Amino acid sequence: KAGLQYFGSATDTPGQRERAGLDAAYAQYDKIMWGGEFGSTTPTNGQKWLFTEPQQGVFNFTEGDYTANNAKKHGLSLRCHALVWHNQLGEYVNQVQWTPETLRAQIVSHIENVAGHYKGQCNHWDVVNEALEEDGTYRKSVFYNVLGEEYIKLAFKTAARVDPKAKLYYNDYSIEWPSKKTEGAARIVKMLRDEGIKIDGVGLQGHLTAEGGVTLDQHIAAIKSFTDLDLEVAVTELDIRLQEPATTTNLAQQKEKYKNIVGACVQVKGCVGITIWDFYDPFSWVPYFFPGEGAAGLWFANFTTHPAYDGIVEAL
């Protein structure tokens, strides 16, 4: 328990789940989500650009507020996600012929409005999400193509000005073990620090596989590579998918893998929190994005828990 401040779960709005074709016993779900099992939450989708600024200059906080308001009502802390990301943008963002000036103004306005709306409510903000390719170079998003790495500086500078109390994070996947991409994330941190721009933490998404080979020591090494920079770390979107169907064997592998990453976070001072990317298998993004894989969460459809739940309890 070196420094763990919270254990949370992301959650979506009932409306989003219905649109995704998921109907489920919300009462049973809500009891676990809001009833004391978790100390923190994140809106799975509701604070993303697509929902908060679906048309240029038109803001909507209905989806994000659902999770933020429930967090407040039930005493959970709120991790906010995500201000600048290349996915789930309003369509216009990839269509407008931006100049550096107009795109700068758009990024600033988006952050002022969204982080401004949630000011004081966000324990953490994922300011920039997934700016890196697997080899550690920058992803060629609309933001990068027009502004280069300047867009990252602008996003952090603006978020720091708008909500000075929120901890500001860079968030990405495949940085849960030492790699070129993990080094790339450290480079972003140093770039910001060199210019005196505030960054407080790095988020390791943690979309892992039960069959994969990442070890406890590799997780520890990656987390330490960031805490050594005097940053905090959080595991922000943890789920560990397996090849369907779930069997005794792959569920045991999954338990081991959950134990590894939770254990690594618990053991390294400066790893402050863990968020599961929805605890309930039927509400997981995994089956849609990774065909043939699933059962990535901690609760099966019938609301019994995975062996991994006990693995986490053992690691905590």
The span from the CA of 278 to the CA of 45, in Å, is 11
Q: Does 225 bind ligand XIL (CB under 6 A)?
A: no
Minimum CB separation of residue 126 from ligand XIL in Å reads 7
Closer residue to ligand XIL in complex, CB, 181/267: 181
* C-beta of residue 41 within 8 angstroms of C-beta of residue 76: yes
| Binding track, positions 35-64, relative to ligand XIL; x by CB under 6 A | ---------xx-------------------
Place of tokens 């509701």: 46
Under the binding rule (CB under 6 A), the answer on residue 129 touching ligand XIL is yes
Structure tokens of 240? 């560990």
256 is catalytic: no
**Closest distance to ligand XIL from the beta carbon of 241 (Å):** 12
Q: How far apart, in Å, are the Cα atoms of 70 and each of 12, 20, 35, 79, 128?
A: 11, 21, 11, 13, 25
* Helical ranges in 84-208 per DSSP H: 100-117, 142-147, 150-162, 180-194
Residue 44 or 67 having the CB closest to ligand XIL:
44
Residues 184-213 that bind ligand XIL (CB under 6 A): 205
The active-site residue out of 63, 130, 176, 232 is 130
List phi, psi (to 5°) of 171. Answer: -125, 135
Residue pair 172/129 in contact by the 8 Å Cβ criterion: yes
The two three-digit tokens of residue 313, written as one number: 């309890």
> Judged by CB under 6 A, how many residues of this single chain contact ligand XIL?
7
Contact between 239 and ligand XIL (CB under 6 A)? no
Quote the least distance from Cβ 89 to ligand XIL, whole Å: 12
**Looking at the DSSP assignment, which residues form a beta bridge with residue 43?**
11
Asked if 297 contacts 276 with a C-beta cutoff of 8 angstroms, the reply is yes
Q: Cβ of residue 218: shortest distance to ligand XIL, in angstroms?
A: 20
Q: Is 237 a catalytic residue?
A: yes
d(C-alpha 270, C-alpha 2), whole Å? 8
285, 298, 311, 312: residue in contact with ligand XIL (rule CB under 6 A): 285
Tokens 């995994």 label which residue?
286
Nearer to ligand XIL, 83 or 268 (CB): 83
Q: Please give the residue whose beta carbon sits closest to ligand XIL in the complex.
A: 285
Nearest Cα to 159, choosing from 199, 104, 102?
199
Q: At its nearest, how many Å lie between ligand XIL and the CB of residue 190?
A: 23
Those residues whose C-beta lies under 8 Å from the C-beta of residue 131, and which sit 6 or more positions away, are 138, 139, 141, 144, 152, 170, 172, 188
**Distance of alpha carbon 62 from alpha carbon 110, whole angstroms:** 16
Binding pattern for the stretch 61-100 against ligand XIL, x by CB under 6 A and - elsewhere: ---------------------x------------------
- Do residues 175 and 185 lie in contact, with contact meaning Cβ atoms separated by under 8 Å? yes
**Binding-residue pattern over the window 130 to 169 for ligand XIL, x denoting contact by CB under 6 A:** ----------------------------------------
- Binding residues for ligand XIL (CB under 6 A): 44-45, 82, 129, 205, 237, 285
- List active site positions: 130, 237
